[in-house]
Homo-oligomer: A and B are copies of this chain.
Amino acid sequence: MLPPEPGRVPRTEEELLTRVRMLAGYTIGQLAERLGRKVPEETRRAKGFFGQLLEPVLGATASSRSTPDFERLGVEMKTVPMSKVGVPLESTYVCTVGGAGLETRGDLDWGTSRVRHKLCRVLWVPIQGDPTIPLADRRIGAAVLWTPDENEEQLLRRDFDELMEYVRLGRWQELTGHLGAVLQVRPKGDSGGAQAWGVDDEGRRAKIPARGFYLRPAFTGGAIRNALNRSRQTPSA
């Protein structure tokens, strides 16, 4: 049976984990067929395909805006393309970088930031990412649930505070992908053009290029390994 009870919202983390682990070993093509969906030929033209395929299967509140994928559980799902040797090939998108004003003031402080909320409980779902494997033939890996430990949270917070200092000062131009040891800020959206509201260096509202927070691949890789190790010691988490 693949997948079990499709579309039903999982009530507990264990139910969610059980369900996603039943998918391990299957290919994207098999999962898509089960759902009556066609796999795009070019990965380049369907970058979010696997993530969007998985959401309804696992019972995520599909495409709800700005809420965790599994709202009741407070769990965020992230698919991670892995290389042949088991390390993430890409950075992981977290959320957009808000402006310094108005509705998004809470985003400047780590404690109330969307970054922290998004990352407080994550379901990592590894997927083969080797570009030589056709999309339909890539296999799903063993998912793990993760919460940052003290060390991980400190790493994230340190970068976050540094990055937000640029936002506070309106120094958007200096806020590049080079900053941050584990968390970085990069452009988001399909043109690099003006797409988001921000605050310029004189405090006025202005259109600026949309940007997002991303986890560097090494951090995501470590998070997945740590989650695996911890689950071996505490089988039910």
Contacts and interface: CB of A to CB of B under 8 A. Distances in A.
Interface of A: 102-103, 205
A66 to B, nearest CB: 13
Contacts of A102: 102
A205 B102 CA distance: 11
A103 B197 CA distance: 11
Contacts of A103: 205
Nearest to A205: B103
A171 to B, nearest CB: 23
A187 to B, nearest CB: 23
A41 to B, nearest CB: 33
Nearest to A103: B205
A103 B206 CA distance: 11
Nearest to A197: B103
Nearest to A101: B102
A60 to B, nearest CB: 23
2 contacts: A102-B102, A103-B205
A70 to B, nearest CB: 23
Contacts of A205: 103
A103 B102 CA distance: 10
A3 B102 CA distance: 47
A194 to B, nearest CB: 13
A100 to B, nearest CB: 14
Nearest to A102: B102
A102 B102 CA distance: 8
**Closest 2 A/B residue pairs (Cβ):** A102-B102, A103-B205
A206 to B, nearest CB: 12
A103 B207 CA distance: 13
A220 B85 CA distance: 72
A106 B99 CA distance: 21
A205 B103 CA distance: 9
A200 to B, nearest CB: 15
A187 B102 CA distance: 26
